Amino acid sequence: EPEVTQTPSHQVTQMGQEVILRCVPISNHLYFYWYRQILGQKVEFLVSFYNNEISEKSEIFDDQFSVERPDGSNFTLKIRSTKLEDSAMYFCASRAGTGGNYEQYFGPGTRLTVT
Amino acid sequence: GENVEQHPSTLSVQEGDSAVIKCTYSDSASNYFPWYKQELGKRPQLIIDIRSNVGEKKDQRIAVTLNKTAKHFSLHITETQPEDSAVYFCAASLSGFGNEKLTFGTGTRLTIIP
């Protein structure tokens, strides 16, 4: 069964540095998402992306965050200047968007540690 | 915006017994309610979902019920097994209009006692 993949699995960075988290959604899916989960807490929506543009973003997704789909397969999340509170597990998800299927498939996550 | 409350936060049941996890949501427009299972250090995986046009859905030992009037939905696991031990998250979404962001509950840590 096709799966969403993410790299790296763990990223350690210093405060103020830029990071790029990478995701390869399931082929032929049309909708893409980023969520984050601070350790021991619930999963929180960051941003949704469709047709090469952001369709919705949360209040967490401020000017330090950006997303991009640079080619036909990758979907990236960039944090321009990381803060300690950005430390979390970041999950990418994708959804087919056809056939009335609403299921979102999650990737294995990237654990971001900001020191 | 949507707010999802989930109870209990932890639940321990004897193997073979049933487990019930309950969620309430605030936005009456929400129409899609998935349940995700997350094992330690792993990705959330969908185990069952329900849409607002049905009141109950069952898949083997797992069932979900939805009460639209009261705005709550529940996960029922029967004949629990050790491999059911995990954190379970409910979620709500307004689906069918292109965005479908998921608003998650706070999670329930389910422990099955052998």
Residue-wise DSSP of B59-87: ETTEEEEEETTTTEEEEEE-S--GGG-EE
Looking at residue B35, its pLDDT comes to 98
CB contact (8 A) between residue B100 and residue A108:
no
Determine contact: A25 vs chain B, CB below 8 A: no
Q: Which two three-digit tokens encode residue B63?
A: 């069932």
Looking at residue B97, its pLDDT comes to 72
Q: What is the mean pLDDT of chain A?
A: 94
- Cα angle at A29 between B25 and A76, to 5 degrees? 85
Map tokens 């999650």 to a residue: A106
Q: What are the pLDDT digits (tens) for B5-58?
A: 999 999 999 999 999 999 999 999 999 999 999 998 889 999 999 999 889 999
Q: What is the mean pLDDT of chain B?
A: 94
Looking at residue A101, its pLDDT comes to 80
DSSP state of B16: T
Looking at residue B62, its pLDDT comes to 98
Q: Report the alpha-carbon distance of residue A32 to residue A26 in Å, rounded.
A: 10
Q: Is the per-residue pLDDT at B89 higher than 90?
A: yes
Q: Is the per-residue pLDDT at A115 higher than 80?
A: yes
Q: What is the mean pLDDT of residues A36-46?
A: 93
Give the model's confidence band at A73: pLDDT under 50 very low, under 70 low, under 90 confident, else very high. Answer: confident
Q: Report the alpha-carbon distance of residue A95 to residue A30 in Å, rounded.
A: 6
Sort B13 into a burial class: Cβ within 10 Å, 0-12 / 13-18 / 19+.
middle
Q: What is the mean pLDDT of residues B87-111?
A: 90
Looking at the partner chain, which of B45, B46, B104 has a beta carbon nearest the beta carbon of A42?
A: B104
H/E run at residue B47: strand B45-51
Residues 6+ apart with CB under 8 A from B15: B80, B81, B82, B112, B113, B114
B contacts of A97 (beta carbons < 8 Å): 98
By CA distance, what is B49's nearest residue in A? A103
Looking at the partner chain, which of A56, A91, A103 has a beta carbon nearest the beta carbon of B46?
A: A103
Q: Is the per-residue pLDDT at A89 higher than 90?
A: yes
Q: Is the per-residue pLDDT at A93 higher than 80?
A: yes
H/E run at residue A5: strand A5-7
